[in-house]
Amino acid sequence: MKKLNITKIRADFPLLHQQVHNHPLVYLDNSNTTQKPQSVIQAMNDYYEHDNANIHRSVYNLSERATQLFENARDKIKHFINAKHRHEIVFVKGTTEGINLVADCLSRCHINAGDEIVISAMEHHSNIVPWQFVCEKTGAHLKVIPVSENGELDLQKFTDLLNEKTRIVAITHASNVLGTINPIEKIIEIAHEKNIPVLLDGAQAVAHLPVDVQKLDCDFYIFSAHKMYGPTGTGVVYGKEKWLHAMPPYQGGGSMIQQVTFPKTTYADLPYKFEAGTSNMAGVIGLGAAVDYIQHLGMENIVSHEQDLLAYATRQLQKIPGLRIIGTAPEKIGVISFILEGIHPHDVGTALDTYGVAVRVGHHCAMPLMERFGVPATIRASFGVYNTEEEIDVLVESLLKVQALFK
């Protein structure tokens, strides 16, 4: 492990070097989306400038080059999360589409009336609503693992929820609101003892924690490029080979077929039976470049830096009178949600912007979790590899100014 040169890293990100309302930008909304290094931007530009063609469909040189770049990215993802097979990597628009894909396909081959689906009270809407669709469609029932006051899951109650009717456990690796890193190894072990598959929403974890899907033994792992220094509109579904073979296609159209006749269609081999239509080639190539960037820095170095930021920010924010942190689990990624007594989070966010500080305010697409903690919204600061302690100092100073303003 080595200490990262954050000044050098920040130089890789063009967007960070600007003024907002005559203040240097302090970008602390990385759980929402991360900024992109020049290498990712350049990889996508190079594709459009030199290799732009549709993939898998033509024999001319340009198309073959584009196909090679696209499939190289699949190999990079395979190695990044240590999948067993490259055909277990399916490209989608993002985590939301990925969870919808798995939920819809399982509803047609694995989930029936009276069955049960287990999620947690800290899930993002994208890991709630698709399963509600499945319940409405099949007559299955949704069961919810409660969250403690400090933002941890109750493993005993989780265990008690599982039974012969449980068809899948779908849970976040790390909470986008609380920052809690869930004990997913134990969750998977408990579920697999009853032969129940586990889907992990990895959107908030994959850029901040090492992920080894074979070691975890999860059945699905889903994440988005734009939360890991890559482009928007691109994501990944990792699925164990046996599940991807068992599931029917999600969408029909070009690329996902083997043979089409009017009486019957046969489908392409994995992973292509789940990649209907024209793919986001530039986005996938950009994701591959983002993986290269993360691996160049070293995941253990990123984790160390972000954990230092989390500890520093927690100490500094706790000094502010009337500030309450929502989510105090001992194991967290670099996310702090909080409220300021007597000031609505949206007012805080608007005021912080006048000092150049970008944070997320609102329910963070986790309205049931807001209800659990009895708040309409929170202010959320979330950290990336390019953030600094000096930026946290600016956040704290700005919050004190906001308090003085509203008094």
Beta-ladder partners of 29: 382
* pLDDT of 223 above 90: yes
* Confidence at residue 407, expressed as pLDDT on a 0 to 100 scale: 81
* pLDDT of 205 above 80: yes
Alpha-carbon span 154 to 142, nearest angstrom: 17
Are 87 and 238 contacting, i.e. CB atoms less than 8 angstroms apart? Answer: no
Q: What does the pLDDT look like over 342-376, one tens digit per residue?
A: 999 999 999 999 999 999 999 999 999 999 999 99
Alpha-carbon span 68 to 72, nearest angstrom: 6
Are 169 and 144 contacting, i.e. CB atoms less than 8 angstroms apart? Answer: no
Q: What does the pLDDT look like over 27-82, one tens digit per residue?
A: 999 999 999 999 999 999 999 999 999 999 888 999 999 999 999 999 999 999 99
Beta-ladder partners of 118: 143, 169
Alpha-carbon span 227 to 342, nearest angstrom: 32
Give just the sign of the alpha carbon dihedral 199, 251, 83, 175.
Answer: negative
Judged by DSSP in three states, 207 sits in coil
* Confidence at residue 1, expressed as pLDDT on a 0 to 100 scale: 77
* Active-site residue flag, 365: yes
DSSP assigned state of 55: S
Instruction: Give 23's pLDDT tier (boundaries 50, 70, 90).
Output: very high
Are 337 and 179 contacting, i.e. CB atoms less than 8 angstroms apart? Answer: yes
Q: Which residues contact 191 (CB under 8 A, 6 or more apart)?
A: 162, 166, 169, 197, 198
> How much is the pTM?
0.97
Q: What does the pLDDT look like over 310-332, one tens digit per residue?
A: 999 999 999 999 999 999 999 99
Domains and their CATH numbers in the chain:
6-30+298-401 (3.90.1150.10), 41-296 (3.40.640.10)
Q: What does the pLDDT look like over 89-140, one tens digit per residue?
A: 999 999 999 999 999 999 999 999 999 999 999 999 999 999 999 999 999 9
Element (H, E) at 303: helix 299-317
Q: Which of 105, 135, 218, 365 is catalytic?
A: 365
Compute CA 254 distance to the chain's CA centroid, rounded to the nearest angstrom: 28
* Confidence at residue 284, expressed as pLDDT on a 0 to 100 scale: 98
Alpha-carbon span 358 to 300, nearest angstrom: 26
* Confidence at residue 57, expressed as pLDDT on a 0 to 100 scale: 81
CB atoms within 10 A of CB 277: 11
Alpha-carbon span 277 to 297, nearest angstrom: 34
* Confidence at residue 358, expressed as pLDDT on a 0 to 100 scale: 98
